[in-house]
Structure 1
Amino acid sequence: MKKLVLTGAAGRLGSYLREPLTQMCDELVSTDIVDDIGKLYPGETYMKGDLASLDDMLKVLECADMVVHMGAYADEGPFEKLLGPNFIGAYNIWEAAYRQGLRRVVYGSSIHAVGMHPKTDFIGVDAPHRPDTFYGLAKCFAEDLGSMYWDKRGLESVHMRILSCAQVNNARALGSWLSYDDLIQLVQRSIETPVTGFRVVYGVSNNDRVPVDNAKASFLGYRPKDNAEQFAEQVLADTPPMDNQDPGNMCHGGPFASVELGNSGVASMNIVNDKKET
């Protein structure tokens, strides 16, 4: 592949994708809204760009084969705060990809698109949208956008509904964990699969307690290797009894399912910022 683009390259997940993506193409263009992302890998260039600007995205995606779209405001917040990067940004990526003749968009979607489904339901990739927040609603919008652009314009997309890609330090993560190695594999398979059309796949590792079903996306060849059960004894020992009336404990969206609309869901999640440094 000649040229790949990675949005959200300055973010935590983007930091783990940059180097592997350089090995899949002649040129990786990493982009974000920061002035620079430090040292670049061989074959990588950086272009500053605002997702809310169609002109910026047209420039970033020029002559690209595919885009891995991980850029977004990565938390719940007021609708107005998410409108530019998450809603308009998604439209700009798909529209620019179509105008520039890209073959596929690989999108960092989220479990929050279906976050209000009960965890006792073993949901598949065809579960109806049931967003838990404005953030989840933006993921629904992008998934429907991808479906429409495939049906109407022939632009393929793979929507990776990531559950929780962070260190395992809570009981929910025993089922929802996606390791960085498995994230990389999932992105690679989403790029390498010859034909995808429009497809949803859950971004989750091979956990004993996995709460979702990827069977209908098996053709992508994604076979996660890591298992959060290795952390179970310590995590459960540190976990007090849970309130079974709290949607944060009972729904797939976790804390996002219990916060008021517009309030941060990340604030109570104790996410460790172990961003990879170049």
Structure 2
Amino acid sequence: MKKLVLTGAAGRLGSYLREPLTRLCDELVSTDLAGDIGKTYPGERYVQADLQDLDAMVDLLAGADMVVHFGAIGDEAPFETLLGPNFIGAYNIWEAAYRNGLRRVVYASSIHAVGMHKKTDFIGIDAPHRPDTFYGLAKCFAEDLASLYWDKRGLESVCMRILSCAQVSNPRAVGTWLSYDDLIQLVTRAIDTPVTGFSVVYGVSNNDRTPVDNAKASHLGYRPKDNAEEFAKEIFAEAGPLDLNDPGNLHHGGPFAAVPLGNSGLAKLNLKADDTGKR
């Protein structure tokens, strides 16, 4: 491809994707609200831009083949806070992609679009939307937007429902972990699969205790390699018995299923800082 655009390039996951994406195109345009993201990779340039500005997104996506959309507020917050970047920002990306004739939007959706399904239900990619938060509701909106733009305008999308892409630090993550290597593979398959139409796929590694089913997304060729079972014994021993009255232990959304609407879910996840120097 000649040109790829990556939104959310200053974020933690976006930072892991920048260098691998430069190998898939002649030019990677990385973008975020940050004034600077430091040193760029060969073939990469950075453009500061606001997802809420449709004209800026139209200009940014001009001449691109695809856009990898990771830009958003990545936590639960009041609806009014999420409305601009997560809802309107999503519309602006799909509309700008359509106006510029892009082939595909690769979107960082989330398990929180279906987070109120029970954890013991082995849900597939066709599970009905059951958001656990306003954040999850924004993911539902973007997935439906992706479906609409495919049905009415022929713009392909791959919506990656990412589960837990961070170090395994809690019992839930033993099933929901997505390693960074598997994240890179997932995004690569979402880009290089010849035909996707509107597709949904769970972003999860090859964990023994994976709580979701990707069988109906096999056309994407995503075959995760890492397994969180190696962390299970230590994590379970450290955590002790789980409270069965806590909705966070019973639903796919984890703590996001338990927090009051508008309150941070990330604060309850006990995430550990990476030691790789990447965000």
TM-score exceeds 0.5: yes
5+ residue gaps, structure 2, are none
Counterpart residue identity of residue 243, structure 1: D
User: What pairs with 1:56-67 in structure 2 (closer than 5 Å)?
Assistant: 56-67=56-67
User: What pairs with 1:1-278 in structure 2 (closer than 5 Å)?
Assistant: 1-274=1-274, 276-277=277-278
Following superposition, the deviation at residue 273 of structure 1 comes to 3.3
The one-character-per-residue Cα deviations of 1:3-56 (angstroms, maximum 9, x if unpaired) are: 000000000000100000000000000000000100000000000010111011
The one-character-per-residue Cα deviations of 1:142-174 (angstroms, maximum 9, x if unpaired) are: 000000000000000000000000000100000
- Residue aligned with 2:6, SS: strand
Following superposition, the deviation at residue 270 of structure 1 comes to 1.7
Following superposition, the deviation at residue 200 of structure 1 comes to 0.3
Counterpart residue identity of residue 73, structure 2: Y
Counterpart residue identity of residue 272, structure 1: K
| Distance in 1 separating the partners of 2:68 and 2:98 | 14
| Distance in 2 separating the partners of 1:273 and 1:150 | 38
| Distance in 1 separating the partners of 2:207 and 2:6 | 28
Following superposition, the deviation at residue 244 of structure 1 comes to 1.0
| Distance in 2 separating the partners of 1:55 and 1:270 | 39
**Runs of 4+ off more than 2 Å:** 272-278
Whether contact under 8 Å (1:3, 1:65) holds in the other structure is yes
| Distance in 2 separating the partners of 1:85 and 1:72 | 5
| Distance in 1 separating the partners of 2:89 and 2:240 | 40
Following superposition, the deviation at residue 276 of structure 1 comes to 4.6
| Distance in 1 separating the partners of 2:272 and 2:153 | 40
Give the structure-1-normalised TM-score: 0.99
- Residue aligned with 1:238, SS: helix
Counterpart residue identity of residue 248, structure 2: G
Counterparts in 2 of 1:276 and 1:71: CA distance versus 1, 3 Å? farther
| Distance in 1 separating the partners of 2:4 and 2:39 | 18
Counterpart residue identity of residue 246, structure 1: D
Following superposition, the deviation at residue 240 of structure 1 comes to 2.2
The one-character-per-residue Cα deviations of 1:78-118 (angstroms, maximum 9, x if unpaired) are: 00000000000000000000001100000000000000000
Counterpart residue identity of residue 27, structure 1: E
| Distance in 2 separating the partners of 1:32 and 1:2 | 21
- Superposition CA RMSD, Å: 1.0
Count of aligned residue pairs for this structure pair: 278
Give the structure-2-normalised TM-score: 0.98
5+ residue gaps, structure 1, are none
Identity fraction in percent: 77
Whether contact under 8 Å (1:15, 1:276) holds in the other structure is no
Counterparts in 2 of 1:217 and 1:52: CA distance versus 1, 3 Å? same
| Distance in 1 separating the partners of 2:110 and 2:277 | 21
| Distance in 1 separating the partners of 2:87 and 2:181 | 28
Whether contact under 8 Å (1:12, 1:273) holds in the other structure is no
